[in-house]
Amino acid sequence: MWKLTGFRPATMQKVLLLPLLFLFTSLSLAQAMSREERYKLRNQVVEMFDHAYQNYMDHAYPADELMPLTCRGRVRGLEPSRGDVDDALGKFSLTLIDTLDTLVVLNKTTEFEAAVRRVLSDVRLDNDIVVSVFETNIRVLGGLLGGHSMAVMLKEGGHHMLWYQDELLHMAKDLGLRLLPAFNTSSGLPYPRVNLKHGVRGPESRTGTETDTCTACAGTMILEFAALSRFTGDPVFEVHARRALDFLWEKRQRNSNLVGTTINIHSGEWVRRDSGVGAGIDSYYEYLLKAYVLLGDDLFLHRFNIHYASIMKYISQPPLLLDVHIHKPLLPARTWMDSLLAFFPGLQVLKGDIRPAIETHEMLYQVTKKHNFLPEAFTTDFRVHWAQHPLRPEFAESTYFLYKATRDPYYLEVGRTVLDNLNRFARVPCGFAAMKDVRTGSHEDRMDSFFLAEMFKYLFLLFADTEDLFFDVEDYVFTTEAHLLPLSLSMAPRPPTRPANTTSKDELEDSNFEWTCPNTRLLFPDPAFPRNLREPIRSAVDKSCPRPIPIREPGMGRPPLRAQDFMANNPEHLELLRRMGVSLIHLKDGRVQLVQHATQAISAVAAEDGMRFMQEMMELSSQQQKEQLPPRAVQIVSHPFFGRVVLTAGPAQFGIDLSKSITGVRGFVTVAEPYSGCTELANGEFVQGRIALLQRGQCMFAEKARHIQKAKAIGGIVIDDNEGSSSDTAPLFQMAGDGRNTDDVTLPLLFLFHKEGNILLEALKEYREVEVLLSDKARDRAAIFKGNPLPGAMLESSVDPHDEEEDCSSADSHHTNPAPNPAPAVVVDQSQMSYVELGEAAPVIEEAGATGAEPGMETDSEPAEEPEADGDSSSRSVDALLADWREDLEAFQQMEKDEL
């Protein structure tokens, strides 16, 4: 957090120790807010906190989080899975722990004491559950340490918590020890997940197979772990956190001095080489600077300054902050920004670089006023890219820090806007609900713990006076979750550390080290200067995305069709495309081509909507191609194949994730009736307990899955109806959902192209009983038959000498596509025509609620045909197909070895 004077211990060197000069207190042109008005807003913050906290305690506790629309607690395993979001939940009353020090900041000492007693009596940390190391560290470990800091402070005051004997600290150490197994890697970077009871990599842990983690996930441990070491005197925690930071520093790109977003925790190779200050990297930079503030180690400041110089050189394009490639930092990586970067102006205040902080914050404020909240992502012309808003606090955080640095009452008005929007649009009877879509105002049934931990803390401090607090907040540093750690920890014994490899300070201009405390060079003698910085940005946002809604032609509908909502089998959507001058063409290879002729739109407004739709679709397609799932395997294990035949299959983005299954799903195959699987199965009794074969077409993939699941099938294989298609020549096909929640689908569904599917159908015709194994990769025979004598002597002569290596090849080919989809082709010529080809298999972006021209968007209306092979292939025996099978197996093995 911002420290006005005595920024850090007296050991500090190379940094100007100038006090922050509140130049704007008397000089600002903005009208000062009266004391009474600030008190009114402060009390409003307390009332809103009470509404959220009390509803959590009444309706959700001891669950981890409150579901404010249904007024009940969110218990992991009892509610439909939300994917990685649920990794923050560990059945440890997350919201209560995350809120402990907020209660003290808001002067609720009685409630704090009661909450601490509840945590000590009710919370268990030894649950057999897999949690995110990053989230558990910042929310739970940070919450326990912040609560401990507040309890000690109150006890020393002599009026509260007199019974306290470091119980929260003991719980924090217990949790820290449970997180330590995640650091058992050759690099020192932690695994992204850990089992609280069993650690990682053991047979009972159900984790430890991951190979990648985000930079922020590995680099946001030092504050909590160092504080735990210095509170307890056990250096092991700080040592591990420092080692992780050292490794990330060594792996930075040496020319640009930037870090990527995702890194391999074993090899140290960058998996995603895009670099920014938002999601995936944000708190890594934050913790470098704050570790220097909290611990008094110049090394952290040195590293931060080197990174910061590169951020300002390559990423900062005031007021924008745009991701770049670490190896080509002058090349933008994307044309949109995510809302997590809203913390960065606050970090720039701590750094002392006020001008760009004002500029970026003003841009964020104008986007907020336009949409009521910051969308999860928005484009460089300030339009919505991802429409959700989970009540994130980062914008309020930066508003608080800018007010502390400038005392400009303008930021009090910004805080008032945040309060008003929360009450107007997010408040519900049982708390505050996240926004599902900022454009429509629809809600999502979630109230994350960080809302209570951070939002109300920053807003209260924004409007409060010093005398409103029990303690001097300047004696503490805020963690990324806004938990309070005392600066006095810098004087505690530090663990012995080995000399770290550092870049010579000569590589940086000396002036960089002056930018640590705000000083008169970086503040402004002209009181109109902040306003002059803000005005052009306000105008730019208004002009890029004008507030008035344009008048539309009758029949166009409002709002216009957006790419993330588009469904290729929706007649209404096709009609809207026609009105916008956009036509849809189904290509033979399964892709969908969109073509726009602006002159064929029914009006100029419709043509403009069409151009925007095409641009959104291209951005959506480009983003989806970066998020491809890895291929899967269909392995024929029955006589006479015995695991020798492996068919490359496409995954589904719903149902069982085979990459998380040790054994896969094994069973005999049966053709579904009807073959399309689009209605209730007529042969359900034969499908029960088997893997159903289905034909692509006529309905959504999720609908097929639901029908075979109702018939009690254990899995499904969808076979392409495009004759001649093959995994040899076509991009990996991925099946998406139907735009609705698909958590009800609990079986695996795989996709085979026509060639591979025909192999399976021919085997079924010849042998009648065919057993297959559905898995994330081909398994060796020993694994399939579990040590039994290997059958199939007739095929022993065809053993591939690499078979024994197959199961040991890199298992994590998740992050790249083995056959990259062609880039969307776009042409805009003088005839005002544009087109985009979208791989039908491009995955849906779940965060955006997209259901667009993706897999599963079936529009063909031709009647389904029963699985009769064509004349050429039906005459081919299994022996004649064996060469093809071996070729497929070799290709699959090579694909795994190359980690495609």
Catalytic residues: 135, 282, 376, 394
Instruction: Name the token pair of 54.
Output: 């009390």
Amino acid identity, position 313: K
d(CA 518, CA 347): 12
> Which residue, 637, 673, 680, is CA-closest to 692?
673
Find out whether 395 and 364 touch, Cβ atoms under 8 Å: yes
d(CA 272, CA 260): 6
* C-alpha 480: how far from chain center: 16
SS3 sequence, 700-733?
A: CHHHHHHHHHHCCCCEEEEECCCCCCCCCCCCCC
Find out whether 107 and 469 touch, Cβ atoms under 8 Å: yes
d(CA 320, CA 334): 12
* Parallel/antiparallel/unpaired status of strands 691-695 and 592-597: unpaired
User: Which residues have C-beta within 8 Å of that of residue 796, sequence separation ≥ 6?
Assistant: none
- Go through 449-469 and write b for each residue having 16 or more CB atoms within 10 A of its CB, e for each that does not: bbbbbbbbbbbbbbbbeeeee
Q: Is the dihedral angle over the CA atoms 438, 443, 449, 453 positive or is it negative?
A: positive
Helices 394-406 and 410-421, packing angle to 10 deg: 160
Instruction: Name the token pair of 763.
Output: 């085997």
d(CA 581, CA 610): 7
d(CA 261, CA 239): 24
Using CA atoms, how far residue 195 sits from 62, 89, 690, 890, in Å, is 20, 12, 33, 36
Phi, psi of 271, rounded to the nearest 5 degrees: -85, -45
Q: Is 238 helix (H, G, I), strand (E, B) or coil?
A: helix
Find out whether 199 and 205 touch, Cβ atoms under 8 Å: yes
Which residue in the block uniquely carries the two structure tokens 């054994």? 663
d(CA 620, CA 248): 31
Hey, what long-range contacts does 739-742 have (CB within 8 A, 24 or more apart)? 739/567, 739/844, 739/849, 739/851, 740/702, 741/80, 742/653, 742/654, 742/655, 742/702, 742/705
Find out whether 681 and 673 touch, Cβ atoms under 8 Å: yes
Element (H, E) at 593: strand 592-597
